[in-house]
Amino acid sequence: MASIDLKNPDTYRAGVPYALLAQLRREDPVYWNPESDGAGFWAVLRFADIVAVSRQPDLFSSAYENGGHRIFNENEAGLAGTGESAIGIPFISRDPPGHTRYRKFVMPALSPARLQGIEQRIAQRVDALMTDLPIGEPVDILRRFTVPLPLLTLAELLGVEPERWHDLHRWTDAFIGEDDPELRTSPEDMGAILGEFMDFAIALYETRRADPGPDLASLLANAEIDGKPIPLGEFVGNLILALVGGNETTRNSLNHTMIALSRNPEQWQALRVDPALMTGAVKEMVRHASPVIHMRRTATRDTQLGGKTIRKGDKVVMFYPSGNRDEAVFADADRFDVTRKIGQHLAFGSGAHVCVGSRLAEMQLRLAFGALARQVTAFEIVGEPGRVRSNFINGFKRLDVKLVG
């Protein structure tokens, strides 16, 4: 049987180890993973088991007081491992019904009517970014395209100046980079970044409380739970959630898909010949990319899962890249196929905590690759991509791509 430490960020330095995950799915799909600095956890690797865990929040809790939604214990290390006590509990680290109430505050900013108005502006941003993209020569596609696009969209949702995307980028990289020394260079630098972000968040909170609008920041700042306005700390926690969730999934789905299209040029030609495929293809893009590696739950009572006895208090960690390559659900699961018919994938989660911004992410993918299809005949990856050292985000720090005209 395969031996693998799914907590070790170095496990993912060269990419997700799909072959080892496939072996574990066959031989030990609810796998006990020891920890050098903890009690260990159950790694859930099959699609059906991940769905089962996701849909039973009363049995498998993501609540902060039980440890939260990451492998490390948020109630000990703080959100994103920052240890910052001023950051409150984001709603991803709450169970229903509290989680559900917070989602209701966010949904108006992501309603179909609101997204319809945003779509045209996203298309305009895509065109503007592509104007500055060189054709036929290598370019760091993150810096010039895949990073600014979702962050410019997020700036609009928050109602802040478009130029702030540079700050949003720096802050979100630091939030997800607890295991990458290039993203968190020192405690002092992290403290300075947190200070900058807190100044931004406090000013945003106070401004939106005094003069609310239809933007997401206003909805978060003016939410009320049991008739009481949420405190600043919880606004900050939910703002971080919006920043990370609002750009990491889209950004890295774009990146992974360019790599997949460089390896499967016939798939790109299929999209160029038949643009109608794009609506379904974006689901395959996100499934194949699986930009979020894990989400954690904690068992609230003894139970059984995959033939294993899970004890109350055990950590249960779902690995989405594994579920999204489960052969029991996806035929020829490692293959990237833009014609694949997907009923459900796990890249946006499942159950009560499914990503609220999934439609917006898919829209940005559809518009981005739709515009690229009109100008680009092929993608060529130049050199070795620079990956984020992380067991949480399946992402990149640099990706040099030559867009062939």
Complete DSSP assignment for 344-369? --STT--GGG--TTHHHHHHHHHHHH
Cis check: omega of the bond before 231, within 30 degrees of 0: no
The candidate with the shortest Cα–Cα distance to 110, out of 40, 68, 158, is 158
d(C-alpha 167, C-alpha 175), whole Å: 12
Domain positions in the chain are: 9-404
Q: Check residue 86 and give its pLDDT.
A: 66
Rounded to the nearest integer, the mean pLDDT of the chain is 92
d(C-alpha 378, C-alpha 130), whole Å: 15
* Side chain identity, residue 274: D
Region 107-116 average pLDDT:
74
Q: Compute the residue count for the chain.
A: 405
Q: Check residue 91 and give its pLDDT.
A: 82
Options 1.10.630.10, 3.90.1150.10, 3.40.50.2300, 3.40.50.300; CATH of 9-404: 1.10.630.10
Q: Check residue 102 and give its pLDDT.
A: 77
d(C-alpha 293, C-alpha 5), whole Å: 14
Q: Check residue 81 and give its pLDDT.
A: 60
| Sequence-ordered list of residues with C-beta below 8 angstroms from that of 308, at least 6 positions apart, any chain | 30, 32, 42
For 22-48, write each residue's pLDDT tens digit. Answer: 999 999 999 999 998 889 999 999 999
Confidence class of residue 187 from pLDDT cuts 50, 70 and 90?
Answer: confident
CA-only gyration radius of the chain, Å: 20
| Sequence-ordered list of residues with C-beta below 8 angstroms from that of 289, at least 6 positions apart, any chain | 252, 253, 255, 256, 257, 260, 347, 394
Coil/strand/helix, residue 122: helix
pTM equals: 0.95
Say what percent of the chain tops pLDDT 70: 97
* Side chain identity, residue 222: N
CA-CA-CA-CA dihedral for 304, 306, 312, 314, to nearest 10: 170
Phi-psi region of 337 (alpha: psi -120 to 50; beta: other; left: phi over 0): beta
For 298-349, write each residue's pLDDT tens digit. Answer: 999 999 999 999 999 999 999 999 999 999 999 999 999 999 999 999 999 9
Region 250-276 average pLDDT:
97
Q: Check residue 82 and give its pLDDT.
A: 60
Angle at 331 between CA 327 and CA 333, to 5 degrees: 60
Structure-block tokens of residue 251: 């950004």
For 361-392, write each residue's pLDDT tens digit. Answer: 999 999 999 999 999 999 999 999 999 999 99
Placement of tokens 């994103």 in the chain: 80
Q: Residue 39, class by beta-carbon neighbours within 10 Å (0-12 exposed, 13-18 middle, 19+ buried)?
A: exposed
